[in-house]
Each structure stands twice: as structure tokens, then as C-alpha cells.
Chains A and B, each alone.
Chain A
Amino acid sequence: MAADTRRRVAVLGAGLIGIDLVDRVHRSAKLDLVLVAGRGQNSLGLHRVAELGYPTAAGGIGSVVEAGPFDVVFDATNADSHAEHWAALRPTGATLIDLTPTGLGTVVVPGVSPHYPVASRHLNLVSCGGQAAIPVLHAVSRHCAPTYVEVVATGAAASAGRATRRNLDQYIDTTSAAIRAFTGTEDVKVMVNLSPARPAPPFRVAITALADGFSPAHIRTSIAAIADTVRGYAPGFEVTSLAMGSGRISVAVQVTTSGRRLPHHAGSVDIINAAAVLLAEQSAAAL
């Protein structure tokens, strides 16, 4: 039997995002799920992961360092804890893929920057809204220089866990900063809604750019192309409306799930987790 060449992976955090990540890593032929670490014996998420038959530990980052070294660690905890996690993992040689909205590592949006950033072992995935909006905005800003960009992300209440809810300010700040970096537009506004509607509505991101002198045909073509690219890893990504005129480009994007365990509406979790696993697999290929 050939030696196992899969990357040794740990998932830190057993909330909504962490549990879905566990499932995806398990299904990946390139990744070997070695540990899922949560905080405290009473974590419901950790119990669920254990029930699914995966190895768990309750000591958070301490458990990960102890069971290491790992090739890849996903941080699916919260923005406030992330810096400490990176400090602990940095000396171990692991690549840390941050799914919390810190913007501390190299910011990566696979739809825009398809090449794995070999030089960095600390990657950040902005936010679910950033993962959905930035490809579209990047396509737009190739053809014009928006003077203002606005992004409104609406997720179902059921798709946002406790950490997400506590990190709304960081979500807004990090997504705004990443949009500035990817588009060159200074004036950026990001807003987030959680919808209590039943049945839960799919994840939706409304994107508006104010710009002059653009060719609607070029923008339409570019957005269609980038949507195809994103669908390569997040098949539920869809541009549901595109309106252009009088100095304004308005795009609505909807993301539904492609994973097995996630409900249809939880496209927010889907798109960021799909991006995370893609990066982890690319890190294996980049060896």
C-alpha cells in the first residue's frame, strides 16, 4: 500500500462552520482529518462531531498544538481568538487557514486569485459576504473605477452561529478592507442582515458600484465568467440580477449549498468552507 500522502488537518472550532468543514475535509481525497478541537467538554458541536465518529479534543488551540504538527489547521472559532491561535501555531510550521473575519493573514478569494499563495502560511478568507461579493466587484473594477461600492449581505438567522453574531463589527471592517484592496475603491460600505423568515431564505448579497464610463457588455461578460469560476468550487453561486445604467451597477448574488449536511439556504457557510477546503487541497499540490 502506498504511503498516505494526504495532508494532516485539524479543525479548530465546532460551530456551524466547523462542523461543515469536518464533513468536507473527511470527503477530500487529499486531506486527512486528524483532530477537531473545541472549547470545553460541554460544547454541543463537539459532541456532534464525536458522535459522527471523528477524533475530538476539548482543549481548543492547546489540544491542536499537543496533537501536532499539522500541515493545515482551519480556524473556525471567532475573530477575537484568532491572533492567539496564529501565535501558537506559527512555530509549528502549519498553514493556518482563518475563516474568522480578522483579515490578519494573506487575504485570499479563490475566485479572484486562483493561484495558491505559496509564500504565506497564514491565510484569511475575509467573510462569507466577501467571498461572494469580491469576485463580482473584481470583475466590475477591471472595466471601470468605482467611486463607491456598497455590499449588503443577508443570511438566514439559522445560518449564523454565535461567533458570527458576536463578530459583526469585525465582519464589516474586514470585508470593507478586502473590498478596498481588491477594487482600489476607497469609499466602501458593508451591511449585514440576519433574516428570521421561515422558510429560511437563501444567502443573498446585493452589490452596488457607482462608476462612470463603463461598457455594460464588458461588465456583463466579465461577471458571467467570474461566476463560472466561483461555481467551480461553490456550485450554488448564482447571479440573480444585474442592472446597469446612469452611473450605477447593481448586482444580486445568491448562494445555496452544495454540501451534504448543510440546509439549502446556508450558502454563506458553503462558499467560505468551499474556498477553505480548496486552499487546503491546493497547499498539498503546491508541495
Chain B
Amino acid sequence: MDTTAHERPRVLLHDPTLRDGQHAVGHQLDAGQLRAYAIAANAAGVPVVEVGHGNGLGASSLQIGRAALDDATMLTTVRETLTSSRMGVFMAPGWGTAKDIAAAVRHGADIVRIAAHCTEADVTERHLDVVRELGAEAQGVLLMSHMAEPRKLAEQCALMVRFGAQAVGIMDSAGYYLPADVTERVAAIASAVDVPLIFHGHNNLGLAVANSLAAVDAGASVIDATARGFGAGAGNTQLEVLVAVLDRRGVSTGIGLREVLAAADIAAARVMKAPPSIDSTAVASGLAGVFSGFKRPVLEAARAGGVDPIDLFLALGERQVVAGQEDLITDVARRLKVATG
């Protein structure tokens, strides 16, 4: 980055409100909601607006939840509204394929994030290559990153850079980290790669903003944040709060506070039934290190199976389930029921 001594350090805020937020509403955002928020985010100067099914391209399924709109409709709807913001999409190999990536780029995706579970970066090789060939910006992110040690994460990020990723980083998919955990991990990755670093927080332990700040201090320059924290489980790092916090910290985001507050108000009014909250199950889910997107299916399975959702989250955490393994939830609930009578 071409910062001089006089310029404030810059951080790029990447906004997955219309992707991660889908988890909170069973992937049911409609075109009017996508349009309303995308217009507001674009007007606020949010640099990247990410859109899609909660688990990204190709993930609409019985397993993870069927989206109200198909990928093409979601992308074209948002694309039409963006004049300055770039459009981002997310895809995990195994859920989506190169065909989904090609379609997304055709529909105007500027940035394609390829995701892998924290130790599985080598599954991104093929698809990072596809993104580069299509001429979009290729980013690589590690999901459920609390399950791996800092050194391992650094090694996996370096691998993604070798595969062509132009930015790499980690997602705290379970909302498990404390700020010191983030500092240690981001610093380890920063010493292993020379591309911009990404951090994506969740708020199960009330630390998403603090963790994001720790990430910036440790060298991350792409931070994910969503309006009102709209996102899976207890929600994400709250965008408008982070803009204010970074401003106080002397870090520039290029986003105006009044404009982002207005965008967040539109999100609150149009996109969500209620803003995310750290309810009891969200705390248990964070402590158990379970993927935030499991909240709705866990609550449903606990109700149907007659078990305590907190017990169910803890049992899933013991099995170290990862995103995509939703099929295990009812099985584990049933076993829990048998075990507890």
C-alpha cells in the first residue's frame, strides 16, 4: 500500500451483510431487501458488498437450507444497484464448483472468496486458479480457524497465496476468539505472506469488534463487518460500530459515519426481523466452538428432539463438527436424548 507518513493507515471494510446475514433468516432474503441494502451500502461508500446464500455459491440445499432466490438472481439484483462498491461472492469447494464461479463472474462479481476449513487450504488450489483466469480478484479464507494453531494457519495462508490468492485470512466462524488469540494468529500469518490479510469475526462472546481491532493492530487490512452485525448465530462484527471505532483509532476506512449509520438503519428496517443478539445458546455455541450458522438448525433439532439446545451445542462441539455437517445435528440430538433419557 502506498501510504506515506502523513496519511492515516487504511483498512478496507468488506461487507457480507447480504451473505452471512442469510443465516439469520434461513436464507430467505428477497430481491427488495437485497436491493434496499445494496443501494444504501453503495451510497455509504462501503467498498465491497458481498451477496449470496449464507454458505455461498452453490450451497442452497436441504442440508444447509434452501435460499429464496437462486445465485444468479441474487447477484444480478445487487449488481444493478452498485455504482462504486465492488461486488463480492463466497464459495467453498465441495459446496459449489467452478461452474458457479464462472456464472458469478459473468453476473458481475468482482471479488471471489474461496473458502476452506482451517487445515484444508489445498482444496482451494483449483478454484483460486479459476478465479484468476476469469480476471476477478481471488481471495482465500480459512473457516473455523480456531481449530488450528497460529503456525498452521500461517502455513495454510501461504499455500493459498502460492495458489494465486491476492488476499488471505481467517474467519472466526464460531465466534470463539479472544483478542489475544486474534493478535497471535494474524501476526503469524502476516509474517508468512505479503498480501493483504482478512479477518472475519463473530460476536458470540461479545468480542467481534474488539477482535477486529486486534486484527487491524496485528496487520490485517481487510475486515469483514455487517450492518447491525446481521449474520449467523450471535452475528458478525458490527459495521457501523467498527467504522466509528477505527475512526477513533486513527484508521481510515473511506466510509462516512453518517452514511453508514443510515445504511445500518435501512438494514434494521428492511432486512432483518430483529438485530442479532447474544442469547444463551449463542454463548454456548461460541464456547463450544461450533459454526455460528448452526444456530437455526440446532434450535429446530433441539425442539423436535426434546433436548436442551445448549447441551446439543456442547455435544456438537465435542465432535468438532464443521460447517456443512448439518446432517449430524439430528443424529447427535437423538443420541443425546437416549443418553439423558
Task: Report which A residues bind B (CB closer than 8 A).
Answer: 148, 150, 152, 154, 157, 162, 165-166, 168-169, 172-173, 189, 191-198, 201, 204, 206, 208, 210, 240-241, 243, 252
Q: Are B322 and A196 in contact (CB under 8 A)?
A: yes
Instruction: Tell me if A's interface is mostly helix, strand, loop or mixed.
Output: strand
Closest to B144 in A: A196
Closest to B63 in A: A152
Q: How far is the CA of A197 from the CA of B322 in the complex (A)?
A: 8
B8 at the interface (CB under 8 A from A): no
B249 at the interface (CB under 8 A from A): no
Q: How far is the CA of A169 from the CA of B102 in the complex (A)?
A: 13
Q: Tell which of B117-125, B179-187, B206-214 binds the partner.
A: B117-125
Q: Are B331 and A252 in contact (CB under 8 A)?
A: yes
Q: How far is the CA of A172 from the CA of B334 in the complex (A)?
A: 30
Cβ-neighbour of B122 out of A162, A192, A196, A208 (below 8 A) = A162
Sorting the interface of chain B by its residue count into under 10, 10 to 19, 20 to 34 or 35 or more gives: 20 to 34
Residues on the B chain within 8 Å of A150, using CB: 61-63
Complex interface residues of chain B between 106 and 122 (CB less than 8 A to chain A) = 117-120, 122
Top-8 shortest CB links A-B: A206-B327, A197-B320, A192-B94, A193-B324, A169-B97, A196-B119, A165-B123, A168-B93
Q: How far is the CA of A152 from the CA of B334 in the complex (A)?
A: 20
- Report if A196-B118 is in contact (Cβ < 8 Å); known contacts: A150-B63, A152-B324, A165-B125: yes
Cβ-neighbour of B322 out of A189, A195, A240, A252 (below 8 A) = A195
- Report if A194-B94 is in contact (Cβ < 8 Å); known contacts: A157-B120, A240-B331: yes
Q: How far is the CA of A206 from the CA of B321 in the complex (A)?
A: 15
- Report if A168-B123 is in contact (Cβ < 8 Å); known contacts: A208-B62, A241-B331: yes
Q: Are A196 and B126 in contact (CB under 8 A)?
A: no
Closest to A162 in B: B122
Cβ-neighbour of A195 out of B59, B98, B99, B320 (below 8 A) = B320
Q: Mark B50-64, 1 if CB is under 8 A from A, else 0.
A: 000000000101110
Q: Are B325 and A195 in contact (CB under 8 A)?
A: yes
Of the candidates A194, A201, A243, the one having the most CB atoms from chain B within 10 angstroms of its own CB is: A194
Q: How far is the CA of A172 from the CA of B127 in the complex (A)?
A: 14
- Report if A172-B324 is in contact (Cβ < 8 Å); known contacts: A162-B122, A196-B148: no
Closest to B324 in A: A193
Residues on the B chain within 8 Å of A169, using CB: 93, 97-99, 126
Q: How far is the CB of A84 from chain B (nearest CB, A)?
A: 19
Q: Are B61 and A193 in contact (CB under 8 A)?
A: no
Residues on the A chain within 8 Å of B97, using CB: 168-169, 172-173
List 29 contacting pairs A-B, 8 Å CB cutoff, sorted by A.
Answer: A148-B62, A150-B62, A152-B61, A154-B327, A157-B119, A157-B120, A162-B122, A165-B120, A168-B97, A168-B126, A169-B93, A169-B99, A169-B126, A189-B62, A192-B94, A193-B322, A193-B324, A193-B325, A195-B320, A196-B117, A196-B144, A196-B147, A196-B322, A197-B319, A197-B320, A197-B322, A198-B320, A204-B327, A241-B330
Please give 17 more A-B residue pairs, beta carbons under 8 A apart, in addition to A150-B62, A195-B320, A204-B327: A152-B327, A154-B325, A154-B327, A157-B117, A169-B97, A169-B99, A169-B126, A191-B94, A192-B94, A193-B94, A194-B94, A194-B123, A196-B147, A197-B147, A201-B319, A206-B327, A241-B334
Q: Are B63 and A191 in contact (CB under 8 A)?
A: yes
Cβ-neighbour of A206 out of B63, B148, B319, B320 (below 8 A) = B63
Q: How far is the CB of A148 from chain B (nearest CB, A)?
A: 8
Closest to A248 in B: B62
Task: Report which B residues bind A (CB closer than 8 A).
Answer: 59, 61-63, 93-95, 97-99, 117-120, 122-123, 125-126, 144, 147-148, 319-322, 324-325, 327-328, 330-331, 334
Q: Are A191 and B95 in contact (CB under 8 A)?
A: yes
Q: Are B324 and A191 in contact (CB under 8 A)?
A: yes
Q: Are B125 and A194 in contact (CB under 8 A)?
A: no
Q: How far is the CA of A172 from the CA of B95 in the complex (A)?
A: 9
Q: How far is the CA of A287 from the CA of B253 in the complex (A)?
A: 73
Q: How far is the CA of A267 from the CA of B221 in the complex (A)?
A: 42
Q: How far is the CA of A240 from the CA of B327 in the complex (A)?
A: 12
Q: How far is the CB of B105 from chain A (nearest CB, A)?
A: 16
Q: How far is the CA of A168 from the CA of B93 in the complex (A)?
A: 7
Q: How far is the CB of B325 from chain A (nearest CB, A)?
A: 6
Q: Are A189 and B61 in contact (CB under 8 A)?
A: yes
Closest to A193 in B: B324
Q: How far is the CA of A243 from the CA of B334 in the complex (A)?
A: 12
Q: How far is the CA of A240 from the CA of B335 in the complex (A)?
A: 11
Cβ-neighbour of B120 out of A173, A191, A196 (below 8 A) = A196
Q: How far is the CA of A189 from the CA of B99 in the complex (A)?
A: 14
- Report if A194-B117 is in contact (Cβ < 8 Å); known contacts: A152-B324, A152-B327, A252-B331: yes
Q: How far is the CA of A198 from the CA of B327 in the complex (A)?
A: 19
Residues on the B chain within 8 Å of A193, using CB: 94, 117, 322, 324-325
Residues on the A chain within 8 Å of B147, using CB: 196-197
Q: How far is the CA of A179 from the CA of B301 in the complex (A)?
A: 28
Q: How far is the CB of B309 from chain A (nearest CB, A)?
A: 20
Of the candidates B99, B123, B327, the one having the most CB atoms from chain A within 10 angstroms of its own CB is: B327
Residues on the B chain within 8 Å of A208, using CB: 62-63
Q: How far is the CB of B326 from chain A (nearest CB, A)?
A: 8
Q: How far is the CA of A150 from the CA of B62 in the complex (A)?
A: 7
Q: How far is the CA of A168 from the CA of B58 in the complex (A)?
A: 13
Q: How far is the CA of A201 from the CA of B316 in the complex (A)?
A: 13
Q: How far is the CB of A141 from chain B (nearest CB, A)?
A: 17
Q: How far is the CB of B305 from chain A (nearest CB, A)?
A: 11
Q: Are B94 and A168 in contact (CB under 8 A)?
A: yes
Residues on the A chain within 8 Å of B320, using CB: 195-198
